[in-house]
Amino acid sequence: MAEQTSDSPKNESALGRHLGAIRKDRGFSLRQVEELTNKVVSNAYLSQIEGGKIQQPSPNMLHSLATVYKISYEHLMELAGYISNGGSREGAHGRAATFAELNLTQEEEKELLEYLRFRRSMDKKNEGG
């Protein structure tokens, strides 16, 4: 299994941020993903991918995650560095999965995420009261 590791917290991986954003968007816990992948991807291993410690998980693991998350396997392979993206998504790697195609600036992305958190908190208040 080819994997790259790093102990530096500054060396966050675009793949890890992308997978973390999608998992959170889907509302899955690390343990739920482990079960949904039939334990192909352990919760501890996924945590290391999302945290940037593992930057190139095996294609088999990426395929399992793509299937569970219902996302592009090819895009995960690009983010992991197995295949070239041809520049079609340049500047969008590592962004929240929902915004990957919009080519937002970091400030725009931050503002949209803050607004989304606000809206979701309002929706929860409205449901509960």
- pLDDT at position 102, please? 59
Instruction: Give, for all 129 residues of the chain, the pLDDT tens digit.
Output: 444 444 434 456 899 999 999 999 999 999 999 999 999 999 999 999 999 999 999 999 999 999 999 998 988 999 999 988 654 444 444 445 555 555 667 777 778 878 888 888 888 788 775
DSSP string covering 12-52, please? --HHHHHHHHHHHHHT--HHHHHHHTTTSS-HHHHHHHHTT
Domains of the chain: 14-128 (1.10.260.40)
Note the Cα 57 to chain centre separation in Å.
13
